[in-house]
Amino acid sequence: MSKITDPIADYLTRVRNAQAAKHRVVDIPASNIKKEITKILKDKGYILNYKFEDEVNYQGNIKIALKYHPETKQPAIKSIKRISKPGLRQYCDSENIPRVLNGLGVAIISTSKGVISDKEARDMKVGGEVICYVY
């Protein structure tokens, strides 16, 4: 088994690839940060639903039901992009939290208060590591 150097990039790529292939459900190995990202995607309406399966193995799995437009069959997520990478971390303070598509998208930020969306980070006045942009 190969060791993944950037599990979050792997997570985002699995979601991206599943949508490109028009899959309904995607399985992703679980971690706490991935669970938090999944909850934010659900809260913001980018995915239909999710389920955490912990009994499969010690790590567990996340099953994500992807969301598509009813008529056009376009995926709800137009773009999901990794910002802070292991080789080059991207941080922002509370005054410089990025706006994605002028507020239409969402930046997911890892802060001292947990993994939260850019809007919540602005409200709480906390900065942190910018994990990814979703729109």
Q: CA nearest 34: which of 46, 19, 50, 55?
A: 50
Has residue 74 been placed in a domain? no
pLDDT in tens, 20-48: 999 999 999 999 999 999 999 999 999 99
Has residue 57 been placed in a domain? yes
The yes-or-no verdict on residue 70 having pLDDT over 70 is: yes
Name every residue whose Cβ is closer than 8 Å to that of residue 114 and which is 6 or more positions away in sequence. 36
Work out the pLDDT band at 2, boundaries 50, 70, 90. Answer: low
Q: How many domains does the chain have?
A: 2
45 is in which domain, residue-wise?
7-66
* CATH assignment at residue 124: 3.30.1490.10
pLDDT at 58: 76
Residues 13 and 54 in one domain: yes
* CATH assignment at residue 14: 3.30.1370.30
pLDDT at 40: 97
